[in-house]
């Protein structure tokens, strides 16, 4: 058996070398990052090798069984003989091993290598794109953005002198600057956000207590702020609400009174803080945020400024997102060309198209950034009503229970569980973290007679899990994971996709392992039928596995095609019931193939 | 005889089912009702596949004689008789019946309109129709340019009474089905070849006895494949040799049907019947010599 295993590995090696030579001789090398030519050839060869792997294993099994059975069999055998029964155990184990290798190659190896090759092919364009972006932001004075893109470009091509020089130059300029980098770091600090989020969870009593303490300390801003917060969370008509109102009014009066200051600068700082704070309380979040950002830059140690900058940031983040949140790396976006339609309760429908989606690491996909988001709304009659387009958007998972009743009614979550499920919340408006006057809004188009309502936040009437499924959906189901295909087979119709395509793909992929077990059992039967009678294997027969591999490859293509046709036929008649039918038919075939092997006998 | 009949019955049934499934797949338009075949078309397919199975049956009888090599002469006589029966009776009869029943042209373009409410990719764009007018073959909806780094365009376009997508997806009706079933190169080669062969056989049948005998020389070459069943000491190699021989003979004859005049190296022109006779002569001589000088290597040596 050891010799046969070695021979099998040698066969694989010979096939790989043959494929590698073929790729070198016939495949033209596309434009790549310098130095990746060999890797490209290697991975291209590996991809072809994995395509041929089922045929290679199948042919190797036939030859190996022909040798093994030829050596063992010197007696007349009848059907279901003890010898065949004892051999069946080994055949079954090797069938399962062979199937596992084939499925691993198809489900893991091929997607990984294809992904690697795609990245290699797209790397030169991506490098150019990042370098252009780095230069653009550099010319605009956004050194922090510029260096992010320069670093990403260097990650793609670590040997590029152009990227290394640009990154080095930007690093020197950022180190020498006392403006952008420290401010950016302060703004991104998570410490303040955490303390602020703790305040959000406080009760009205706790907030009122803080307000009173601040009032006693003559910290009028804090006293007013905490009393406003207490007012918001207190039950309407409660004593705490009344107390908070009184405290807020008192604190505001104290704020309005001209105070005594050590110097002019202190007075100016107080005036600016009060102005920014007024904007925050009035709900002018954007203005408040930039004013506090400006103050934070000038007085980074001022406790009031830090606190209210954090509060303004929290308010901002509930309505807008910052452009620098969008992840930039050497990799590509997680998905491209994500499209789906949503049927509304009144029969109208929306068509959503996203050019690219990137998820933020360690969030389990709960936070995504969309590039090039388009939403088209159509009426019941199929006529266009309105559309929006936004270059970047942020998508979050929002639990339905956390939405107000009006939003819940508006979205009409007929198939969703309002207590457990979440929906995608799309933030359409974005800002630059540092520079004011940079609000990016969606572009709207309206049909005649349609009311021109716009939104800064959009809730999609769909389960967030379905959104993640659609993110992984491809128009070619062969590129998808089996779990996604199965889910898609049940939901395709709801989102504008053809159920029959994903249904037949689900049937195909689920029955493929069983089909390979059948083929390996049949390979054992062929090995028995054509076992070597005249002694041992001869060197002159070495070409047999290669010839068999080619034959098996053609046979497998034909079987796969027939499988698809059959699945289309069954799905056309039985719809989703075809999935279990195909599965049980495949199990029946395994049983018949096992019986066929057990019925082997001498001539 | 049992094997011969089994191959014809199962082969015809399998081929018939496969063709029906293929026709079903080519007719599918996602979201629309299917197209039903009439009885004439079903009969045409059935007879056609009886003929095709009879062509393949000769390979099965040779393979059977490798697996069960006893009574060598009797096997050769039976094989030859069955080949004669196939090429002089079964194939002409089934082709004649098929011709009378009608014809299916699977490679013809379909003219079924697309349906609404499904995404369809075409020529670097993704189309979504919200309503389709089947009479005018126009639709309302939207199209998006599929994103790639080669194509940085952000274009999305509203479609109002726009013509339906009409790409070259012959023989399929819907681009969604085409995308999953047209990738196989084997099908791209096999389908036109089968159609071409069917046409050549029908032309030969209508041309009279001599014309048919010329075409049936293909069967003579296939029949003599039994001559290579003892070529190697390992019967798996004999099996492979028979398969390669079958593919090679079919390929040569298909090449003739394709329009090749039989010109070899610009020196001599050999008509198809002569080519088949030469092949048959070589294979027969090989078989006779091997049967005289080599004991049957396919026999099992048991104690």
Q: Does the CA dihedral B149-B155-B161-B162 come out positive or negative?
A: negative
| Whole-number percent of chain B with pLDDT over 70 | 91
Write the pLDDT tens digit of every residue in A512-542: 999 999 999 999 999 888 888 766 677 778 7
Q: How far is CA A275 from CA A282, A308, B12, in A?
A: 11, 12, 89
Chain A closest-CA separation from residue B33 CA (Å)? 10
Please answer yes or no on whether B67 and A603 come within 8 Å at the CB atom: yes
More confident residue, A360 or A89: A89
Residues A18 and A24: their CA atoms lie apart, in Å, by: 10
Chain B closest-CA separation from residue A569 CA (Å)? 6
Mutation pick from B144, B182, B183, B193 vs chain A, by most beta carbons of A within 10 Å, is: B144
Least confident of A209-223, A405-419, B31-45, B133-147: A405-419
Chain A residues touching B69 at Cβ < 8 A = 603
- Beta strand pairing status for B156-163 and B263-264? unpaired
Q: Is the pLDDT of residue A588 over 90?
A: yes
For chain A, give the mean pLDDT: 82
Give the 3-state secondary structure of residue A358. Answer: strand
Nearest to B147 among A355, A532, A560 (CB): A355
Q: Are A359 and A371 within 8 A, CB to CB?
A: no
Q: Does A498 touch chain B (CB under 8 A)?
A: yes
Nearest to A551 among B70, B158, B243 (CB): B243
Nearest to A555 by CA among B107, B243, B181, B46: B243
- Beta strand pairing status for A367-378 and A384-399? antiparallel
Residues A290 and A116: their CA atoms lie apart, in Å, by: 43
Q: How far apart are the first and last CA of chain B?
A: 31
Please answer yes or no on whether B233 and A62 come within 8 Å at the CB atom: no
Please answer yes or no on whether B144 and A337 come within 8 Å at the CB atom: yes
Q: Using CA coordinates, name the residue in chain B closest to A496.
A: B118
Please answer yes or no on whether A337 and B31 come within 8 Å at the CB atom: no
Please answer yes or no on whether B149 and A122 come within 8 Å at the CB atom: yes
Please answer yes or no on whether B144 and A353 come within 8 Å at the CB atom: yes
- Which H helix or E strand runs over A357? strand A349-359
Tokens matching residue B212: 């048919």
What mean pLDDT is predicted for residues B251-258? 87
Upper half-sphere CA count for residue A152 (Cβ side, 13 Å) = 25
Tokens matching residue A588: 């029946």
| Whole-number percent of chain A with pLDDT over 90 | 22
More confident residue, B105 or A546: A546
Tokens matching residue A411: 């979205």
Write the pLDDT tens digit of every residue in A242-266: 888 888 888 777 776 666 666 777 7
Q: Does A562 touch chain B (CB under 8 A)?
A: yes
β-bridge mates for residue B140, sequence order = B131
Please answer yes or no on whether A378 and B130 come within 8 Å at the CB atom: yes
Q: Does A569 touch chain B (CB under 8 A)?
A: yes
Q: Does the CA dihedral A274-A279-A285-A289 come out positive or negative?
A: negative
- B20's CB contacts (< 8 A; 6+ apart) are A569, B37, B42, B45
pLDDT band at A193 (very low <50, low <70, confident <90, very high): very low
Chain B residues touching A603 at Cβ < 8 A = 67-70, 299-300
Q: Is the pLDDT of residue A595 over 90?
A: yes
Please answer yes or no on whether A76 and B302 come within 8 Å at the CB atom: yes
Q: What is the pLDDT of residue A187?
A: 46
What mean pLDDT is predicted for residues B257-272? 79
More confident residue, A510 or A252: A510
Peptide bond into B171 cis (omega under 30): yes
- A43's CB contacts (< 8 A; 6+ apart) are A113, A116, A117, A120
Chain B closest-CA separation from residue A382 CA (Å)? 5
Nearest to B28 among A353, A372, A568 (CB): A568
- B225's CB contacts (< 8 A; 6+ apart) are B58, B59, B62, B242, B245, B246, B249, B283
Please answer yes or no on whether A341 and B117 come within 8 Å at the CB atom: yes
Nearest to A498 by CA among B95, B42, B128, B133: B128
Please answer yes or no on whether B236 and A505 come within 8 Å at the CB atom: no
Q: Does A578 touch chain B (CB under 8 A)?
A: no
pLDDT band at A413 (very low <50, low <70, confident <90, very high): low
Nearest to B21 among A63, A477, A569 (CB): A569
Q: What is the pLDDT of residue A46?
A: 94
Q: Is the pLDDT of residue A191 over 70?
A: no
Q: Is the pLDDT of residue A303 over 80?
A: no
Q: Does A385 touch chain B (CB under 8 A)?
A: no
Chain A residues touching B173 at Cβ < 8 A = none
- B187's CB contacts (< 8 A; 6+ apart) are A561, B181
Please answer yes or no on whether B128 and A125 come within 8 Å at the CB atom: no
Please answer yes or no on whether A569 and B118 come within 8 Å at the CB atom: no
Q: What is the pLDDT of residue A156?
A: 85
Chain B residues touching A341 at Cβ < 8 A = 117, 119, 128
Q: Are A388 and A442 within 8 A, CB to CB?
A: yes
Nearest to B142 among A62, A125, A351 (CB): A351
- DSSP letter string, chain B: -HHHHHHHHHHHHHHHHHHHHHHHHHH--TTS---PPPHHHHHHHHHHHHHHHHHHHHHHHHHHHHHS-SSHHHHHHHHHHHHHHIIIIIHHHHHHHHHHH----TTSPP-PPP-SS-EEEETTEEEEEEEEETTTTEEEEEEEEPPBTTB----EEEEEEEEPP----TT-S-HHHHHHHS--HHHHHHHHHHHHHHHHHHHHHHT-HHHHHHHHHHHHHHHGGGGGTTSSSSHHHHHHHHHHHHHHHHHHHHHHHHT---EETTTEE--HHHHHHHHHHHHHHHHHHHHHHS--TTS----
Chain B closest-CA separation from residue A533 CA (Å)? 6
- Beta strand pairing status for A430-431 and A384-399? unpaired
A:229-288 residues touching chain B, CB 8 A cutoff: none
Please answer yes or no on whether B119 and A496 come within 8 Å at the CB atom: yes
Q: Does A179 touch chain B (CB under 8 A)?
A: no
Q: Is the pLDDT of residue B162 over 60?
A: yes
Nearest to A561 among B118, B154, B186 (CB): B186
A:398-457 residues touching chain B, CB 8 A cutoff: none
A:307-366 residues touching chain B, CB 8 A cutoff: 336-337, 339, 341, 349, 351, 353, 355-356
Chain B residues touching A560 at Cβ < 8 A = 184
Please answer yes or no on whether B235 and A530 come within 8 Å at the CB atom: yes
ipTM of model: 0.87
Q: What is the pLDDT of residue B154?
A: 60
Chain B closest-CA separation from residue A532 CA (Å)? 6
β-bridge mates for residue A431, sequence order = A322
Nearest to A594 by CA among A96, A76, A100, A73: A96
Nearest to B146 among A337, A341, A541 (CB): A337
For chain B, give the mean pLDDT: 84
Q: What is the pLDDT of residue B246?
A: 93
Q: What is the pLDDT of residue B151?
A: 46
Q: Is the pLDDT of residue A183 over 60?
A: no
- A37's CB contacts (< 8 A; 6+ apart) are A29
Q: What is the pLDDT of residue B284?
A: 92
Write the pLDDT tens digit of every residue in B266-285: 777 888 888 999 999 999 99
pLDDT band at B173 (very low <50, low <70, confident <90, very high): confident
Residues A450 and A310: their CA atoms lie apart, in Å, by: 40
Q: Does A500 touch chain B (CB under 8 A)?
A: yes
Q: Where are the beta strands (DSSP E) in A413-556?
A: 422-427, 430-431, 443-446, 457-459
Tokens matching residue B34: 């299917």
Chain A closest-CA separation from residue B258 CA (Å)? 22
Please answer yes or no on whether A504 and B180 come within 8 Å at the CB atom: yes
Tokens matching residue A546: 């290669």
Mutation pick from A387, A568, A570 vs chain B, by most beta carbons of B within 10 Å, is: A568
| Helix (H), strand (E), coil (C) string for A374-397 | EEEEECCCCCEEEEEEEEEEEEEE
Q: What is the pLDDT of residue A93?
A: 92
Give the 3-state secondary structure of residue A326. Answer: coil
Please answer yes or no on whether A374 and B25 come within 8 Å at the CB atom: no
Q: What is the pLDDT of residue A96?
A: 94
Residues B34 and B23: their CA atoms lie apart, in Å, by: 11
More confident residue, A520 or A574: A520
Mutation pick from B15, B23, B25, B115 vs chain A, by most beta carbons of A within 10 Å, is: B25
Residues B302 and B283: their CA atoms lie apart, in Å, by: 30
Residues A470 and A183: their CA atoms lie apart, in Å, by: 38
Chain A residues touching B179 at Cβ < 8 A = 475-476
């Amino acid at each position: 058996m050891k010799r046969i295993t070695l021979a099998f590995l040698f066969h694989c090696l010979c096939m790989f070398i043959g494929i590698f030579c073929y790729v070198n001789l016939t495949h033209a090398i596309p434009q790549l990052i310098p130095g990746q030519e060999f890797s490209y050839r290697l991975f291209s060869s590996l991809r072809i090798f994995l395509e041929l792997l089922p045929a290679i294993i199948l042919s190797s099994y036939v030859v190996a069984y022909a040798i093994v059975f030829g050596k063992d069999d010197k007696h007349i055998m009848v059907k279901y003989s003890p010898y065949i029964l004892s051999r069946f155990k080994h055949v079954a184990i090797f069938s399962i091993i062979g199937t596992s290798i084939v499925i691993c190659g198809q489900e893991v190896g091929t997607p990984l290598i294809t992904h690697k090759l795609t990245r290699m092919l797209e790397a030169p364009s991506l490098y150019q794109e990042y370098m252009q972006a780095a230069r653009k932001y550099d010319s605009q004075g956004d050194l922090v953005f510029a260096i992010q893109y320069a670093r990403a470009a260097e990650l793609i091509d670590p040997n590029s002198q152009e990227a290394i020089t640009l990154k080095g130059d930007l690093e020197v300029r950022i180190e020498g600057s006392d403006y952008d980098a420290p401010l950016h770091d302060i703004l991104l600090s998570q410490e303040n956000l955490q303390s602020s989020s703790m305040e959000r969870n406080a009760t009205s009593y706790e907030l009122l207590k803080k307000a009173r303490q601040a009032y006693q300390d003559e910290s009028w801003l804090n006293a007013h702020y905490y009393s406003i917060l207490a007012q918001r969370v207190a039950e309407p008509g409660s004593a705490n609400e009344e107390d908070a109102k009184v405290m807020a009014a008192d604190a505001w009066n104290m704020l309005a009174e001209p105070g005594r200051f050590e110097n002019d600068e202190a007075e100016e700082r107080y005036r600016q803080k009060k102005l920014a704070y007024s904007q925050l309380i009035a709900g002018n979040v954007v203005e408040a945020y930039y004013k506090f950002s400006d103050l934070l830059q000038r007085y980074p140690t001022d406790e009031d400024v830090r606190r209210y900058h954090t509060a303004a940031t929290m308010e901002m983040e509930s309505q807008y997102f910052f452009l620098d949140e969008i992840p930039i790396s050497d990799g590509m976006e997680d998905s491209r060309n994500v499209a789906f339609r949503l049927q509304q309760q009144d029969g109208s429908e929306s068509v959503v198209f996203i050019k690219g989606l990137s998820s933020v690491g360690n969030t389990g996909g709960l936070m995504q950034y969309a590039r090039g988001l388009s939403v088209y709304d159509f009426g019941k009659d199929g006529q266009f009503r309105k559309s929006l387009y936004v270059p970047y958007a942020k998508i979050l998972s929002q639990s339905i229970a956390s939405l107000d009743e009006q939003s819940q009614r508006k979205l009409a979550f007929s198939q969703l569980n309002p207590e457990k499920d979440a929906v995608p919340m799309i933030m359409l408006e974005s800002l630059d973290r540092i520079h004011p006057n940079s609000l990016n809004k969606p572009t709207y188009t309206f049909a005649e007679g349609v009311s021109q309502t716009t939104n800064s936040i959009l809730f999609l009437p769909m389960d967030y899990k379905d959104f993640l499924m659609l993110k992984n959906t491809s128009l070619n189901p062969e590129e998808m994971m089996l779990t996604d295909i199965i889910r898609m087979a049940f939901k395709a119709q709801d989102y504008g996709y053809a159920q029959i395509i994903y249904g037949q793909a689900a049937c195909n992929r689920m029955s493929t392992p069983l089909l390979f077990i059948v083929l390996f059992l049949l390979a054992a039967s062929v090995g028995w039928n054509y076992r070597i009678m005249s002694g041992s294997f001869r060197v002159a027969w070495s070409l047999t596995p290669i010839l068999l591999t080619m034959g098996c490859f053609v046979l497998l293509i034909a079987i796969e095609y027939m499988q698809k046709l059959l699945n289309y036929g069954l799905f056309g008649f039985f719809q989703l019931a075809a999935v279990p039918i195909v599965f049980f038919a495949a199990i029946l075939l395994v049983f018949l193939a096992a019986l066929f092997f057990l019925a082997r006998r001498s001539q | 005889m049992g094997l011969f009949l089994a191959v014809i019955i199962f082969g015809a049934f399998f081929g018939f089912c496969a063709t029906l499934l293929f026709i079903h797949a080519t007719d599918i338009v996602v979201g629309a009702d299917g197209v039903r075949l009439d009885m004439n078309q079903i009969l045409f397919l059935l007879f056609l596949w009886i003929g095709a199975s009879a062509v393949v049956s000769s390979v099965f009888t040779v393979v059977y004689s490798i697996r069960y090599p006893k009574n060598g002469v009797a096997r050769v006589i039976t094989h030859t008789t069955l080949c004669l029966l196939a090429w002089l009776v079964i194939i002409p009869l089934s082709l004649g019946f098929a011709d009378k029943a009608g014809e299916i042209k699977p490679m013809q373009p379909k003219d079924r309109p697309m349906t609404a409410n499904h995404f369809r990719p075409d020529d670097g764009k993704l189309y979504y129709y919200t309503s389709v007018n089947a009479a005018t073959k126009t639709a309302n909806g939207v199209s998006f340019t599929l994103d790639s780094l080669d194509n940085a365009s952000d274009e999305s376009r509203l479609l109002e009474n726009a013509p339906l997508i009409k790409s070259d997806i012959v023989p399929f009706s819907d681009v969604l089905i085409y995308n999953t079933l047209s990738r196989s190169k084997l099908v791209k080669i096999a389908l036109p070849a089968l159609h071409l062969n069917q046409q050549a056989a029908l032309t030969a049948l209508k041309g009279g006895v001599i014309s048919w005998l010329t075409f049936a020389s293909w069967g003579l070459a296939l029949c003599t494949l039994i001559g290579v069943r003892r070529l190697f000491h390992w019967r798996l190699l004999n099996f492979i040799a028979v398969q390669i021989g079958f593919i090679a003979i079919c390929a040569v004859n298909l090449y003739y049907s394709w329009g090749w005049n039989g010109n070899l190296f610009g020196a001599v022109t050999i008509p198809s019947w002569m080519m088949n006779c030469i092949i048959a002569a070589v294979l027969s001589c090989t078989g006779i010599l091997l049967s005289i000088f080599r004991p049957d290597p396919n026999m099992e040596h048991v104690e």
